[in-house]
Structure 1
């Protein structure tokens, strides 16, 4: 089946296809995206904690990937009025690998500008996932829906998936197959 769209609708279809929202992450693949510059600020209210403290400060279970073991550092970020944090980050390999976990029912938390990057659909444990292969811009979306440009940074290859109502983004110097194996080992 071949469907021809009028020029106006074809442009709209292209625009929609260039912007994908999944598991609290907006992936923008439109062209002409500038790379972030300067030093990014940390996420709002970001602070280091122990894994046990982090689990008490978020409203979702923090699961550690068996393939990576215990994290070297744990961060929580973006507390609400009751002190509950929106994001928990587990850091590995000197910070070169990062696993962010956040409530998947929230509005977008991260905005990726992946123009020119390899954006493909894949699976983690049989569920839908997105692989963004290669460097791309990443910014934080605050609770009001504003993209916080001050947090923007260049992000490495990233796997994005959702499991049990929790959204995950695994970022680092990883190939797609290794990232999927790590994601599949969440305990």
Structure 2
């Protein structure tokens, strides 16, 4: 699903002001690492309410704990890739670990960093819940979890959250590794969960 220009929906992008050891391209929808240090990019828009769906596409990822997900402004990229306690939730692509509030709480069963991998995201601000899925796989790698029915998912600390990606200094990072976010500017690869807005608005 996509939105028609002028329909009252303006999708967010990554915010140039949040860049660390990274650059933006593709209308600020693609974040690329500029060196092998920890870095990342965060959306221009933080939310604590609403139900939103968006997708990340892996261009290239070689950092062991490269992270894609959501985080509060207070969290930061090093905390996200290092597993420090705080308001952030995502997946570490090098091993497929499901991360929430600084801890690993599950796994997608192995690395999810192949080029072209689509990472689906569902955010329910009203219930403080977050779900991810890899390509056409089950939400949170659990067939009983479903954002449409508020089943399963991760509960995060009450805070305004924004979509974010973080590049890890661990593993074998390569300058030029990159992720592209579709916040609703074009058609999604996978179906939007029932009851969720197709995209993350500004």
Query: If the length of structure 2 is used for normalisation, what is the TM-score?
Result: 0.25
Query: If the length of structure 1 is used for normalisation, what is the TM-score?
Result: 0.27
Structure (1/2) with the larger strand percentage: 1
Structure (1/2) with the larger helix percentage: 1
Larger radius of gyration: 1
